[in-house]
Structure 1
Amino acid sequence: MLVEIAAVGLCHTDIAVQHGHLPFPLPGVFGHEGAGTVVSVGPGVTKVAPGDKVALTFNSCGACPSCTKNQPAYCHDFLARNLGGARPDGRSPIALSGTGIGGNFLDAMSAALGALAHKGTFGIIGVPADPTAALPVPIMLAQVLGARIIGIVEGDSVPDEFIPYLARLNQEGRFPYDRLITALPFIGINDAIAAQSRGEAVKVVLVHNLTAPDN
């Protein structure tokens, strides 16, 4: 499927891969939060057609036990499909000077547990700055509270359901996520990364139809 990209979110995961906190073949192309228009599709694509407006997200196999339970974020083939840098057949989807490159892309425990109510859940999200980081778990406190500690991947979501749901909430005025977004020109991607790192923007979205500001 070929999509003409109108905008792409600058995600913390992209920055984590850039700095080597997640395994991914470099050089590579990141940017898994795309939005745009379908230009063309292959013979096996039935979900969308040319002209459709789409949002791009993570990949899943659709056939493993997790996928068949409607839990694609925990696909058994998640790492290979999203961080392997290639299609399932091993081919790179993008090349630089004729050579394939990486593509197909995509934290204080005790205090948090103490704030949980009984039978509460502590969710671990985001990419740690240190990929070998470990969490000390106060076992007695967790047992007394009946607390659950779970890792959360991609918001524990089903994209085909969750993304349209968020869009509906926004249209109804119940989730104004547009207030969190700072649109910046794609040509100024390095400035955008720096601005987000400095905390000057909550969520940067890179678009092609903006002009970079004068310095």
Structure 2
Amino acid sequence: MQISAAVVQEVGAPFTLTDVDLQDPAPGEVVVQIAGVGICHTDIAVKEGHMPFPFPGVLGHEGSGTVVSVGADVTTVGVGDHVAISFNSCNACPRCATNEPAYCHNFLEYNFGGARQDGSSGLTAGGTKVAANFFGQSSLATHALAHERNVVKLPPGAPLELVGPLGCGIQTGAGAVLNSLDVQPGSTVVIAGAGPVGLSAVLAAVVREAASIIVVEPHQNRRDLATELGATHVVDPQAGELSEQIRQIVPTGTDYAIDTTAAGPVVEQLLASLGMRGVLGMLGVPADPQAAFSVGLFQPPMLGLTIRGIVEGDADPQTFIPYLLDLHAQGKFPFDKLITTMPMTQINEAVAAQLRGEILKVVLTP
């Protein structure tokens, strides 16, 4: 079928809405008519060449919509089902076998390769191959080819056009708290960065009944939103030494720290704010892959600190997305407060507004 997709022609180029041809679903694949798709930092990082992906290509990895056709062997979803689309995984490696798909041994190949395993992409323009299969979906389009493994059937009443970000950004922030760090009730957590990932972590820390939820953010409007969503304290990193500001709130240091900034100086200050046996979770994607930070020669062993990277919030989307939606239905996880919808025709304006901080999380509707 012919569809419209936001094609990136080369590194750094803008998104261009283009008519492209979408192949029929192969075995194990489904075609989803997109209702909404979030713009994630990873989309922009790839577009700007900070992460690998072939061009010309179609990005987008926070899609949601309605299944309109299925390939052979698909049994868990059918035509007419509402789904969220998350990251892809191989279902064959040791990590997938232990229900840890976020750490799939073949994660890069399955999510950044730009093609199916047989080398085809499923998308062409004027007879020329267009890279697709980004995170197993390439959902910045009116329709997307996805895989049975990375679509999640939605419960009745789920807000279809808004749930796409649960497949990546919101899942990552919430999962960092609920899965990766397993933040305990009554504990203290500091979260650097009040973007959609950081604020999703705030929502999850509220669910976990953390005693102190400290948000570090330079923009006043985002600090205000963090407070509205449940942060107990907000810190302006420009107001003084960050670790000192945090220890004025928690003199013995925090139990957990979450970094969404990937900025070396911020990470170093978060480490300095941790208390005994504290844990730092790193979620940010640095623009410079060679970026480094100092942990201090004796600090981690003397204090028993743990530093760990976190991918996709250690989530299995098939169980975690329904869990978040159940919390939302109970009024305990109001992720919709993070989202602004805009039409797909305004994709470049939406990206610019999000980068300027005028909008927290954009979901585009075809």
Common topology (TM > 0.5):
yes
Q: Percent identity?
A: 56
- The equivalent of 2:310 in structure 1 is 152
For 1:64-84, what per-residue CA distance to the aligned partner results, in whole angstroms no more than 9, with x for missing partners? 100111110000110000000
Pick the aligned partner of 2:128 from 76, 93, 99: 99
* TM-score normalised by the chain length of structure 1: 0.93
Pick the aligned partner of 2:272 from 88, 111, 114: 114
- Give the root-mean-square deviation of aligned CA atoms: 1.1
Pick the aligned partner of 1:37 from 66, 87, 99: 66
* TM-score normalised by the chain length of structure 2: 0.55
Per mean C-alpha deviation after superposition, the further-off stretch among 97-106 and 180-189 is 97-106
- The equivalent of 2:213 in structure 1 is none
Match for 1:112: what amino acid? Answer: L
Per mean C-alpha deviation after superposition, the further-off stretch among 70-79 and 43-52 is 43-52
Residue 348 of structure 2 corresponds to residue 190 of structure 1:
yes
For 1:22-53, what per-residue CA distance to the aligned partner results, in whole angstroms no more than 9, with x for missing partners? 01001110111000000111112122111110
For 1:155-195, what per-residue CA distance to the aligned partner results, in whole angstroms no more than 9, with x for missing partners? 21110111111111111111111111001111100000001
Extract unaligned runs of 5+ from structure 2.
1-29, 136-261
Per mean C-alpha deviation after superposition, the further-off stretch among 63-72 and 119-128 is 119-128
Deviation of 1:117 after TM superposition, in Å, equals 2.5
Tell me the distance in 2 between the aligned counterparts of 1:16 and 1:191: 17
SS at match of 1:54: strand
Q: How does 1:1-215 map to 2 (within 5 A)?
A: 1-106=30-135, 107=262, 108-208=266-366
Per mean C-alpha deviation after superposition, the further-off stretch among 169-178 and 114-123 is 114-123
Tell me the distance in 2 between the aligned counterparts of 1:194 and 1:74: 31
Match for 1:154: what amino acid? Answer: E
SS at match of 1:45: coil
Tell me the distance in 2 between the aligned counterparts of 1:85 and 1:104: 5
Per mean C-alpha deviation after superposition, the further-off stretch among 95-104 and 191-200 is 95-104
**Bigger RCO of structures 1 and 2 (CA < 8 A, at least 6 apart):** 1
Runs of 4+ in structure 1 off by over 6 angstroms are: none
Extract unaligned runs of 5+ from structure 1.
209-215
Tell me the distance in 2 between the aligned counterparts of 1:129 and 1:13: 10
